[in-house]
Copies of this chain bind each other. A is one copy, B any other.
Amino acid sequence: MNDFVFYSPTEFIFGKGVTDQVGEHIAKRGYKRALLVYGKGSVVRTGTLDRVKKSLAASGVEAVELAGVRPNPEVGLVREGIELARKENVDVIFPVGGGSAIDCAKAIAFGVPYEGDVWDFFSKKATIAECLPIACVLTIPAAGSEGSSSCVISNDELGLKRGTNSNLFRPKVAFLDPELTFTLPPYQTAAGVTDMIAHVCERYFSGTGSSSLTDNIATGIIRALIDEAPVALAEPENYEARANIMWAGTLAHNDIAGCGLSATPTSRAGGWESHALEHELSAFDASITHGAGLAGVMPAWMRFVWRENPARFLKFALQVFDIEPIDETDEAIEDAVTAAIDELQAFFVDLGMPRTLGEFGIAPEDVDKLLPTLKANKGEVFGGFKKLTLEDAKAIYLSAF
Protein backbone atom coordinates (compact mmCIF):
# COMPACT_ATOMS: atom_id res chain seq x y z
CA MET A 1 0.00 0.00 0.00
CA ASN A 2 1.77 3.11 -1.23
CA ASP A 3 1.39 6.44 0.55
CA PHE A 4 -1.56 8.43 -0.70
CA VAL A 5 -3.71 11.49 -0.18
CA PHE A 6 -7.43 10.91 -0.59
CA TYR A 7 -9.47 14.06 -0.87
CA SER A 8 -12.96 14.02 -2.33
CA PRO A 9 -14.63 17.06 -0.79
CA THR A 10 -17.63 17.18 -3.14
CA GLU A 11 -21.05 17.04 -1.53
CA PHE A 12 -22.99 14.47 -3.60
CA ILE A 13 -26.74 15.01 -3.48
CA PHE A 14 -28.19 11.88 -4.96
CA GLY A 15 -31.74 10.78 -5.70
CA LYS A 16 -35.08 11.29 -7.32
CA GLY A 17 -35.87 14.88 -8.09
CA VAL A 18 -32.72 16.49 -6.72
CA THR A 19 -32.64 18.52 -9.95
CA ASP A 20 -35.40 20.66 -8.48
CA GLN A 21 -33.44 21.28 -5.28
CA VAL A 22 -30.37 22.93 -6.81
CA GLY A 23 -31.49 26.48 -6.05
CA GLU A 24 -31.75 26.07 -2.30
CA HIS A 25 -28.35 24.38 -2.07
CA ILE A 26 -26.63 26.96 -4.26
CA ALA A 27 -28.19 29.84 -2.35
CA LYS A 28 -27.30 28.21 0.99
CA ARG A 29 -23.66 28.19 -0.10
CA GLY A 30 -23.87 31.92 -0.72
CA TYR A 31 -23.50 31.88 -4.50
CA LYS A 32 -25.47 34.61 -6.23
CA ARG A 33 -24.61 34.43 -9.94
CA ALA A 34 -24.08 31.19 -11.84
CA LEU A 35 -22.67 30.56 -15.30
CA LEU A 36 -24.69 27.67 -16.68
CA VAL A 37 -22.62 25.59 -19.11
CA TYR A 38 -24.30 23.00 -21.30
CA GLY A 39 -24.27 21.18 -24.60
CA LYS A 40 -26.07 21.19 -27.88
CA GLY A 41 -29.58 20.27 -27.04
CA SER A 42 -30.45 17.28 -24.90
CA VAL A 43 -30.61 19.15 -21.60
CA VAL A 44 -32.82 21.71 -23.33
CA ARG A 45 -34.97 19.09 -25.08
CA THR A 46 -35.54 17.01 -21.95
CA GLY A 47 -36.47 20.06 -19.86
CA THR A 48 -33.60 19.53 -17.41
CA LEU A 49 -32.12 22.97 -18.07
CA ASP A 50 -35.48 24.62 -17.45
CA ARG A 51 -35.84 22.77 -14.14
CA VAL A 52 -32.40 23.96 -13.07
CA LYS A 53 -33.11 27.55 -14.10
CA LYS A 54 -36.47 27.53 -12.37
CA SER A 55 -34.96 26.17 -9.17
CA LEU A 56 -32.14 28.73 -9.21
CA ALA A 57 -34.54 31.59 -9.91
CA ALA A 58 -36.84 30.48 -7.09
CA SER A 59 -33.90 30.79 -4.71
CA GLY A 60 -32.81 34.16 -6.08
CA VAL A 61 -29.71 32.90 -7.89
CA GLU A 62 -29.14 34.69 -11.20
CA ALA A 63 -28.04 32.66 -14.21
CA VAL A 64 -25.94 33.48 -17.26
CA GLU A 65 -25.69 30.86 -20.03
CA LEU A 66 -22.98 29.34 -22.20
CA ALA A 67 -24.46 26.80 -24.61
CA GLY A 68 -22.97 24.61 -27.28
CA VAL A 69 -20.40 22.43 -25.51
CA ARG A 70 -19.57 19.58 -27.90
CA PRO A 71 -18.29 16.07 -27.07
CA ASN A 72 -14.51 16.39 -26.62
CA PRO A 73 -14.93 20.03 -25.57
CA GLU A 74 -12.71 22.53 -27.34
CA VAL A 75 -10.57 25.26 -25.87
CA GLY A 76 -12.24 27.89 -28.05
CA LEU A 77 -15.51 27.64 -26.16
CA VAL A 78 -13.58 27.56 -22.88
CA ARG A 79 -12.03 30.92 -23.80
CA GLU A 80 -15.49 32.31 -24.64
CA GLY A 81 -16.73 31.05 -21.26
CA ILE A 82 -13.87 32.72 -19.45
CA GLU A 83 -14.64 36.05 -21.08
CA LEU A 84 -18.33 35.70 -20.31
CA ALA A 85 -17.72 34.71 -16.68
CA ARG A 86 -15.47 37.74 -16.18
CA LYS A 87 -17.84 40.14 -17.91
CA GLU A 88 -20.85 38.86 -16.01
CA ASN A 89 -18.97 38.58 -12.73
CA VAL A 90 -20.32 35.13 -11.87
CA ASP A 91 -19.35 33.48 -8.59
CA VAL A 92 -20.00 29.83 -9.48
CA ILE A 93 -19.63 27.82 -12.68
CA PHE A 94 -22.57 25.47 -13.10
CA PRO A 95 -22.42 22.80 -15.81
CA VAL A 96 -25.54 20.80 -16.62
CA GLY A 97 -24.65 17.70 -18.61
CA GLY A 98 -22.01 15.00 -18.79
CA GLY A 99 -18.25 15.01 -18.68
CA SER A 100 -17.89 17.38 -21.63
CA ALA A 101 -19.96 20.12 -20.04
CA ILE A 102 -18.30 19.61 -16.65
CA ASP A 103 -14.77 19.56 -18.08
CA CYS A 104 -15.49 22.69 -20.10
CA ALA A 105 -16.81 24.32 -16.92
CA LYS A 106 -13.75 23.28 -14.94
CA ALA A 107 -11.43 24.84 -17.50
CA ILE A 108 -13.48 28.03 -17.38
CA ALA A 109 -13.36 27.98 -13.58
CA PHE A 110 -9.58 27.87 -13.40
CA GLY A 111 -9.16 30.05 -16.48
CA VAL A 112 -11.05 33.03 -15.04
CA PRO A 113 -8.56 34.00 -12.29
CA TYR A 114 -5.54 33.38 -14.59
CA GLU A 115 -4.08 36.22 -16.59
CA GLY A 116 -2.56 34.13 -19.39
CA ASP A 117 -4.20 31.79 -21.88
CA VAL A 118 -6.02 28.80 -20.37
CA TRP A 119 -4.20 26.33 -22.67
CA ASP A 120 -1.06 27.07 -20.64
CA PHE A 121 -2.41 24.67 -18.00
CA PHE A 122 -2.69 21.88 -20.56
CA SER A 123 0.71 22.52 -22.12
CA LYS A 124 2.13 22.54 -18.58
CA LYS A 125 3.34 26.14 -18.86
CA ALA A 126 1.29 27.03 -15.79
CA THR A 127 0.03 25.35 -12.61
CA ILE A 128 -3.48 25.86 -11.30
CA ALA A 129 -3.39 27.97 -8.14
CA GLU A 130 -6.90 29.41 -8.05
CA CYS A 131 -10.29 28.31 -9.26
CA LEU A 132 -13.87 29.52 -9.12
CA PRO A 133 -16.22 27.08 -7.34
CA ILE A 134 -18.08 24.54 -9.46
CA ALA A 135 -21.52 23.00 -8.89
CA CYS A 136 -23.00 20.57 -11.39
CA VAL A 137 -26.07 18.62 -12.42
CA LEU A 138 -24.93 15.35 -13.97
CA THR A 139 -27.04 14.00 -16.84
CA ILE A 140 -24.66 11.48 -18.43
CA PRO A 141 -22.82 9.16 -16.01
CA ALA A 142 -19.52 8.13 -17.55
CA ALA A 143 -16.57 10.47 -17.19
CA GLY A 144 -16.80 10.81 -13.43
CA SER A 145 -15.95 14.48 -13.77
CA GLU A 146 -18.61 15.37 -11.16
CA GLY A 147 -16.24 14.13 -8.46
CA SER A 148 -12.86 13.92 -10.11
CA SER A 149 -9.70 15.98 -10.25
CA SER A 150 -9.58 15.50 -14.05
CA CYS A 151 -10.26 17.90 -16.88
CA VAL A 152 -9.68 16.99 -20.53
CA ILE A 153 -9.88 19.61 -23.29
CA SER A 154 -9.22 19.42 -27.03
CA ASN A 155 -7.34 21.99 -29.04
CA ASP A 156 -8.41 21.75 -32.69
CA GLU A 157 -5.80 24.19 -33.92
CA LEU A 158 -2.96 22.12 -32.46
CA GLY A 159 -4.72 18.78 -33.07
CA LEU A 160 -4.28 17.88 -29.39
CA LYS A 161 -6.47 16.53 -26.60
CA ARG A 162 -4.93 17.01 -23.20
CA GLY A 163 -5.79 16.61 -19.55
CA THR A 164 -4.84 18.39 -16.37
CA ASN A 165 -5.45 17.45 -12.74
CA SER A 166 -6.07 19.44 -9.59
CA ASN A 167 -8.08 19.04 -6.41
CA LEU A 168 -8.94 22.72 -6.72
CA PHE A 169 -11.50 22.06 -9.42
CA ARG A 170 -13.33 19.13 -7.84
CA PRO A 171 -16.95 20.32 -7.75
CA LYS A 172 -18.19 21.72 -4.42
CA VAL A 173 -21.55 20.09 -4.91
CA ALA A 174 -22.86 17.60 -7.47
CA PHE A 175 -26.51 16.76 -8.05
CA LEU A 176 -27.05 13.20 -9.24
CA ASP A 177 -30.61 12.43 -10.28
CA PRO A 178 -30.76 8.93 -11.80
CA GLU A 179 -34.13 9.61 -13.42
CA LEU A 180 -32.40 12.06 -15.77
CA THR A 181 -30.57 9.10 -17.29
CA PHE A 182 -33.73 7.16 -18.24
CA THR A 183 -33.63 8.79 -21.69
CA LEU A 184 -29.97 8.05 -22.43
CA PRO A 185 -29.65 6.09 -25.69
CA PRO A 186 -28.33 2.53 -25.31
CA TYR A 187 -25.06 3.31 -27.08
CA GLN A 188 -24.33 6.20 -24.74
CA THR A 189 -25.26 4.13 -21.70
CA ALA A 190 -22.91 1.36 -22.84
CA ALA A 191 -20.08 3.75 -23.66
CA GLY A 192 -20.48 5.34 -20.24
CA VAL A 193 -20.28 2.01 -18.44
CA THR A 194 -17.19 1.10 -20.49
CA ASP A 195 -15.54 4.37 -19.50
CA MET A 196 -16.28 3.70 -15.81
CA ILE A 197 -14.78 0.22 -15.97
CA ALA A 198 -11.74 1.68 -17.71
CA HIS A 199 -11.34 4.27 -14.94
CA VAL A 200 -11.19 1.46 -12.40
CA CYS A 201 -8.92 -0.74 -14.53
CA GLU A 202 -6.41 2.04 -15.22
CA ARG A 203 -5.95 2.32 -11.45
CA TYR A 204 -6.12 -1.41 -10.71
CA PHE A 205 -3.30 -2.00 -13.18
CA SER A 206 -1.26 0.94 -11.97
CA GLY A 207 1.87 -1.17 -11.87
CA THR A 208 2.82 0.06 -8.40
CA GLY A 209 1.49 -0.68 -4.94
CA SER A 210 -1.46 -2.82 -3.99
CA SER A 211 -4.11 -2.95 -1.31
CA SER A 212 -6.49 -5.79 -0.52
CA LEU A 213 -9.07 -3.21 0.54
CA THR A 214 -8.76 -0.96 -2.51
CA ASP A 215 -8.74 -4.01 -4.79
CA ASN A 216 -11.99 -5.24 -3.23
CA ILE A 217 -13.58 -1.84 -3.71
CA ALA A 218 -12.31 -1.52 -7.27
CA THR A 219 -13.56 -4.91 -8.36
CA GLY A 220 -16.77 -4.41 -6.41
CA ILE A 221 -17.47 -1.36 -8.60
CA ILE A 222 -16.78 -3.36 -11.77
CA ARG A 223 -18.96 -6.27 -10.67
CA ALA A 224 -21.85 -3.93 -9.86
CA LEU A 225 -21.53 -2.44 -13.36
CA ILE A 226 -21.46 -5.88 -14.96
CA ASP A 227 -24.64 -6.73 -13.06
CA GLU A 228 -26.51 -3.49 -13.65
CA ALA A 229 -25.59 -2.40 -17.20
CA PRO A 230 -27.54 -5.15 -18.99
CA VAL A 231 -30.57 -4.33 -16.82
CA ALA A 232 -30.39 -0.65 -17.75
CA LEU A 233 -30.16 -1.53 -21.45
CA ALA A 234 -33.10 -3.94 -21.25
CA GLU A 235 -35.20 -1.61 -19.05
CA PRO A 236 -34.08 2.00 -19.57
CA GLU A 237 -36.35 3.21 -16.76
CA ASN A 238 -35.14 0.71 -14.15
CA TYR A 239 -34.30 3.10 -11.34
CA GLU A 240 -32.09 0.73 -9.34
CA ALA A 241 -29.92 -0.10 -12.33
CA ARG A 242 -29.65 3.54 -13.41
CA ALA A 243 -28.89 4.66 -9.85
CA ASN A 244 -26.18 2.09 -9.27
CA ILE A 245 -24.57 2.91 -12.62
CA MET A 246 -24.66 6.63 -11.88
CA TRP A 247 -23.01 6.27 -8.46
CA ALA A 248 -20.50 3.78 -9.86
CA GLY A 249 -19.42 6.39 -12.40
CA THR A 250 -18.57 8.76 -9.57
CA LEU A 251 -16.72 6.21 -7.43
CA ALA A 252 -14.83 4.88 -10.45
CA HIS A 253 -13.09 8.23 -10.79
CA ASN A 254 -13.09 10.11 -7.47
CA ASP A 255 -9.91 8.13 -6.57
CA ILE A 256 -11.43 5.85 -3.90
CA ALA A 257 -10.60 2.97 -6.27
CA GLY A 258 -6.93 3.91 -6.39
CA CYS A 259 -5.93 4.52 -2.75
CA GLY A 260 -2.50 3.04 -2.12
CA LEU A 261 -1.73 2.40 -5.80
CA SER A 262 -0.22 5.75 -6.77
CA ALA A 263 3.42 6.23 -7.69
CA THR A 264 3.55 9.33 -5.50
CA PRO A 265 1.16 10.34 -2.67
CA THR A 266 -0.39 13.22 -4.57
CA SER A 267 -0.51 11.68 -8.04
CA ARG A 268 -3.44 9.74 -9.44
CA ALA A 269 -3.01 5.98 -9.45
CA GLY A 270 -2.38 4.35 -12.80
CA GLY A 271 -0.48 4.75 -16.03
CA TRP A 272 -3.63 5.53 -18.02
CA GLU A 273 -2.36 3.71 -21.08
CA SER A 274 -5.77 2.83 -22.51
CA HIS A 275 -6.95 6.41 -22.09
CA ALA A 276 -3.82 7.68 -23.85
CA LEU A 277 -4.39 5.28 -26.74
CA GLU A 278 -8.08 6.14 -26.95
CA HIS A 279 -7.59 9.90 -26.83
CA GLU A 280 -5.75 9.68 -30.16
CA LEU A 281 -8.65 7.78 -31.69
CA SER A 282 -11.28 10.34 -30.78
CA ALA A 283 -8.90 13.19 -31.62
CA PHE A 284 -8.38 11.61 -35.07
CA ASP A 285 -12.10 11.05 -35.62
CA ALA A 286 -14.40 13.12 -33.40
CA SER A 287 -17.28 10.74 -34.15
CA ILE A 288 -15.61 8.08 -32.01
CA THR A 289 -17.23 8.13 -28.57
CA HIS A 290 -14.60 7.95 -25.82
CA GLY A 291 -16.12 4.90 -24.12
CA ALA A 292 -16.50 3.03 -27.39
CA GLY A 293 -12.89 3.78 -28.25
CA LEU A 294 -11.86 2.37 -24.88
CA ALA A 295 -13.79 -0.84 -25.59
CA GLY A 296 -11.69 -1.04 -28.75
CA VAL A 297 -8.25 -0.48 -27.23
CA MET A 298 -8.38 -1.66 -23.61
CA PRO A 299 -8.65 -5.42 -24.18
CA ALA A 300 -5.89 -5.12 -26.80
CA TRP A 301 -3.73 -3.25 -24.27
CA MET A 302 -4.41 -5.95 -21.66
CA ARG A 303 -3.40 -8.74 -24.04
CA PHE A 304 -0.21 -6.86 -24.86
CA VAL A 305 0.91 -6.17 -21.28
CA TRP A 306 -0.41 -8.89 -18.93
CA ARG A 307 2.85 -10.89 -18.94
CA GLU A 308 4.47 -7.95 -17.14
CA ASN A 309 2.64 -9.03 -13.97
CA PRO A 310 0.57 -12.19 -14.42
CA ALA A 311 -0.30 -12.32 -10.71
CA ARG A 312 -2.07 -8.99 -10.95
CA PHE A 313 -4.16 -10.16 -13.90
CA LEU A 314 -4.92 -13.44 -12.12
CA LYS A 315 -6.24 -11.47 -9.16
CA PHE A 316 -8.41 -9.44 -11.54
CA ALA A 317 -9.66 -12.65 -13.18
CA LEU A 318 -10.61 -14.08 -9.81
CA GLN A 319 -12.10 -10.95 -8.26
CA VAL A 320 -14.17 -9.87 -11.26
CA PHE A 321 -15.02 -13.12 -13.05
CA ASP A 322 -14.31 -15.91 -10.52
CA ILE A 323 -11.81 -17.34 -12.99
CA GLU A 324 -8.87 -19.32 -11.59
CA PRO A 325 -6.11 -21.21 -13.40
CA ILE A 326 -6.56 -24.98 -13.24
CA ASP A 327 -2.94 -25.37 -12.14
CA GLU A 328 0.23 -23.30 -11.81
CA THR A 329 1.65 -23.96 -15.26
CA ASP A 330 2.34 -21.04 -17.59
CA GLU A 331 -0.27 -22.41 -19.94
CA ALA A 332 -2.97 -22.51 -17.27
CA ILE A 333 -2.11 -18.97 -16.19
CA GLU A 334 -2.29 -17.73 -19.77
CA ASP A 335 -5.62 -19.50 -20.22
CA ALA A 336 -7.07 -17.91 -17.08
CA VAL A 337 -5.86 -14.41 -17.90
CA THR A 338 -7.00 -14.70 -21.50
CA ALA A 339 -10.39 -16.00 -20.39
CA ALA A 340 -10.85 -12.97 -18.14
CA ILE A 341 -9.88 -10.51 -20.88
CA ASP A 342 -12.17 -12.38 -23.28
CA GLU A 343 -15.02 -12.11 -20.76
CA LEU A 344 -14.47 -8.39 -20.31
CA GLN A 345 -14.39 -7.83 -24.06
CA ALA A 346 -17.48 -10.00 -24.55
CA PHE A 347 -19.26 -7.91 -21.91
CA PHE A 348 -18.43 -4.71 -23.83
CA VAL A 349 -19.56 -6.28 -27.12
CA ASP A 350 -22.80 -7.52 -25.53
CA LEU A 351 -23.50 -3.95 -24.45
CA GLY A 352 -23.19 -2.86 -28.09
CA MET A 353 -19.60 -1.64 -28.03
CA PRO A 354 -17.21 -2.43 -30.91
CA ARG A 355 -14.91 -5.44 -30.80
CA THR A 356 -12.48 -4.01 -33.38
CA LEU A 357 -11.29 -0.58 -34.42
CA GLY A 358 -12.42 -1.37 -37.97
CA GLU A 359 -15.98 -0.95 -36.76
CA PHE A 360 -15.28 2.79 -36.44
CA GLY A 361 -14.60 2.95 -40.18
CA ILE A 362 -10.89 3.40 -39.74
CA ALA A 363 -8.24 1.16 -41.28
CA PRO A 364 -4.92 -0.28 -40.07
CA GLU A 365 -3.21 2.23 -42.39
CA ASP A 366 -4.62 5.06 -40.26
CA VAL A 367 -2.64 3.93 -37.22
CA ASP A 368 0.49 5.71 -38.43
CA LYS A 369 -1.47 8.96 -38.38
CA LEU A 370 -2.20 8.51 -34.65
CA LEU A 371 1.39 8.19 -33.56
CA PRO A 372 2.71 11.75 -34.06
CA THR A 373 0.06 13.25 -31.76
CA LEU A 374 0.45 10.38 -29.32
CA LYS A 375 4.12 11.29 -29.20
CA ALA A 376 3.28 15.00 -28.80
CA ASN A 377 0.90 14.21 -25.93
CA LYS A 378 2.72 11.42 -24.11
CA GLY A 379 6.34 11.46 -25.28
CA GLU A 380 8.41 8.58 -26.65
CA VAL A 381 7.58 6.29 -23.73
CA PHE A 382 4.49 6.25 -21.53
CA GLY A 383 2.51 4.07 -19.15
CA GLY A 384 2.83 2.59 -15.68
CA PHE A 385 2.01 -1.12 -15.74
CA LYS A 386 4.46 -1.61 -18.61
CA LYS A 387 6.42 1.18 -20.26
CA LEU A 388 5.14 1.48 -23.82
CA THR A 389 7.12 2.80 -26.77
CA LEU A 390 5.43 4.24 -29.83
CA GLU A 391 6.18 0.92 -31.54
CA ASP A 392 4.33 -0.86 -28.73
CA ALA A 393 1.42 1.53 -29.14
CA LYS A 394 1.35 0.78 -32.87
CA ALA A 395 1.33 -2.95 -32.17
CA ILE A 396 -1.57 -2.55 -29.70
CA TYR A 397 -3.61 -0.49 -32.17
CA LEU A 398 -2.97 -2.98 -34.98
CA SER A 399 -3.88 -5.93 -32.75
CA ALA A 400 -7.25 -4.27 -32.17
CA PHE A 401 -8.30 -4.60 -35.83
Which A residues lie at the B interface, using CB under 8 A?
A: 1-16, 18, 178, 210-214, 216-217, 219-221, 223-224, 227-228, 239-240, 243-244, 247-248, 251, 256, 259-260, 265
When the two chains form the complex, which single residue of B213, B221, B223 contacts A221, counting CB atoms closer than 8 Å? Answer: B213
Among the interface residues A2, A18, A178, A244, which one has the most CB atoms of the partner chain B within 10 A? Answer: A244
Query: Which B residues touch A12, using CB under 8 A?
Result: 4-7
Given A1-B239, A7-B11, output 11 extra A-B contacts at Cβ < 8 Å. Answer: A1-B243, A4-B12, A5-B11, A6-B11, A6-B14, A9-B9, A211-B247, A212-B227, A213-B247, A216-B220, A216-B224
For this chain, the copies found in one complex come to 2
Given contacts A243-B211, A243-B260, contact A5 B13 (CB under 8 A): yes
Query: Which B residues touch A213, using CB under 8 A?
Result: 220-221, 224, 228, 244, 247-248, 251
* Closest Cβ neighbor of A214 among chain B residues: B247
B216 x A223 contact (CB < 8 A): yes
A-B contact pairs, 21 of them (CB 8 A): A2-B15, A3-B14, A3-B18, A9-B11, A14-B259, A14-B260, A15-B265, A210-B240, A211-B240, A211-B243, A211-B244, A212-B224, A213-B221, A213-B247, A213-B248, A217-B220, A217-B251, A219-B220, A247-B260, A251-B256, A256-B256
* Closest Cβ neighbor of A266 among chain B residues: B13
Task: Return A238 CB to nearest CB of chain B, in Å.
Answer: 11
B4 x A15 contact (CB < 8 A): yes
Task: Return A381 CB to nearest CB of chain B, in Å.
Answer: 27
* Closest Cβ neighbor of A13 among chain B residues: B5
Query: Which B residues touch A248, using CB under 8 A?
Result: 213
CA distance A214 to B18 in the complex (A): 20
A5 x B9 contact (CB < 8 A): no
Q: Which 10 A-B pairs have the closest CB atoms?
A: A3-B15, A216-B220, A213-B224, A9-B9, A1-B243, A7-B11, A6-B12, A220-B220, A212-B224, A213-B244
Query: Which B residues touch A4, using CB under 8 A?
Result: 12, 14-15
Query: Which B residues touch A216, using CB under 8 A?
Result: 220-221, 223-224
* Closest Cβ neighbor of A244 among chain B residues: B213
Query: Which B residues touch A221, using CB under 8 A?
Result: 213, 216-217
Among the interface residues A8, A13, A212, A265, which one has the most CB atoms of the partner chain B within 10 A? Answer: A212
CA distance A136 to B228 in the complex (A): 39
* Closest Cβ neighbor of A248 among chain B residues: B213
* Closest Cβ neighbor of A319 among chain B residues: B220
A5 x B1 contact (CB < 8 A): no
Task: Return A134 CB to nearest CB of chain B, in Å.
Answer: 15
Query: Which B residues touch A15, using CB under 8 A?
Result: 2-4, 265
Query: Which B residues touch A13, using CB under 8 A?
Result: 5, 265
Among the interface residues A7, A216, A259, which one has the most CB atoms of the partner chain B within 10 A? Answer: A216
Query: Which B residues touch A227, using CB under 8 A?
Result: 212
* Closest Cβ neighbor of A1 among chain B residues: B243
Query: Which B residues touch A7, using CB under 8 A?
Result: 10-12
* Closest Cβ neighbor of A8 among chain B residues: B8
Query: Which B residues touch A5, using CB under 8 A?
Result: 11-14
